[in-house]
């Protein structure tokens, strides 16, 4: 099986690469972190006794994105784990920073997803897991761009799951909550943990990846990892928006 994994050098992408690593799967691991890809490739060879192909591309660069879409998305299984975010209110994040995250989390996400699915439709078979977030369902003051871009990712993925099922293609949105990945450091969730102690139990990315793959093969189109995250999902659906906004604003305020 040909497997393409984006954001493969760390976090969920890295863990999915490990899960798929065997002698029968042909893996293409993509990231903008060349050193991280080299470490991953060496680890896969040492631990799983198999080779993977790696490709270093910046998905916010239009030329790189075009190349990935044209040449690296003809696969049987796509794991799209490329994404990023940064804490900051409207006065602290520059337009250029916001544009970067929008380009990565929306435009690149969309282009890769669609390019891959169109190839799968021609073959009338394929599998895809898009890494979204519990932020897909919750507007987050002081983390607004990340949550808004993930809202697009989640909605788009779940809708496509229905559109492509007639072509024997399975699609699932994986929506993890706080997880020990590089995003936590980038987004400063460690500061939230120290201030409030409200995220004492982070789910490890390898655990989330294993559970997600199991749920995918059961036919799920949406998987929210963890009991706490599922509770948060239902709280957001029924809590008054102003009340939720006030709580979330205080959680994320002044953590830059």
Taking only the tens of pLDDT, the chain with its 256 residues reads: 999 999 999 999 999 999 999 989 999 999 999 999 999 999 999 999 999 999 999 999 999 999 999 999 999 999 999 999 988 888 989 999 999 999 999 999 999 999 999 999 999 999 999 999 888 888 888 889 999 999 999 999 999 999 999 999 999 999 987 655 555 555 555 565 565 555 544 678 899 999 999 999 999 999 998 656 655 655 566 566 665 666 665 666 665 5
pTM for this predicted structure = 0.85
CA atoms within 13 A on the CB side of 119: 18
Strand order in the sheet with 126-131: 53-56, 26-31, 2-6, 77-80, 126-131, 169-175, 222-224
Domain parsing of the chain, residue ranges? 2-252
Return d(Cα 106, Cα 83) in angstroms, integer.
Answer: 9
Enter the DSSP assignment of 183: H
Q: In terms of CATH, what superfamily is 2-252? A: NAD(P)-binding Rossmann-like Domain (3.40.50.720)
Q: 192 φ, ψ to 5°?
A: -65, -45
């Amino acid at each position: 099986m040909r497997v393409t994994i984006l954001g493969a050098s760390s976090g969920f992408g890295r863990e999915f690469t490990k899960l798929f690593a065997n002698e029968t799967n042909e893996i293409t691991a993509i990231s903008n972190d060349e050193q991280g890809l080299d470490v991953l490739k060496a680890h896969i060879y040492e631990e799983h006794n198999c080779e993977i192909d790696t490709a270093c591309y910046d998905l916010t660069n239009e030329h790189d994105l075009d190349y990935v879409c044209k040449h690296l998305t003809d696969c049987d299984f796509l794991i799209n784990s490329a994404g990023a975010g940064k804490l900051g209110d409207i006065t602290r994040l520059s337009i250029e920073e916001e544009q970067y995250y929008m380009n990565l989390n929306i435009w690149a996400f969309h282009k890769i997803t669609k390019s891959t699915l169109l190839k799968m439709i021609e073959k009338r078979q394929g599998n895809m897991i898009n890494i979204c977030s519990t932020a897909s369902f919750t507007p987050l003051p002081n983390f607004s761009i990340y949550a808004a871009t993930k809202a697009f990712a989640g909605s788009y993925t779940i809708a496509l799951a229905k559109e492509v099922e007639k072509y024997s293609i399975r699609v699932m949105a994986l929506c993890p909550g706080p997880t020990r990945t590089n995003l936590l450091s980038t987004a400063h969730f460690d500061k939230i943990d120290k201030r409030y102690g409200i995220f004492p139990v982070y789910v490890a990315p390898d655990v989330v990846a294993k559970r997600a793959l199991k749920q995918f093969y059961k036919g799920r189109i949406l998987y929210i990892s963890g009991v706490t995250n599922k509770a948060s999902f239902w709280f957001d659906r029924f809590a008054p928006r102003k009340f939720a906004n006030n709580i979330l604003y205080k959680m994320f305020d002044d953590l830059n």
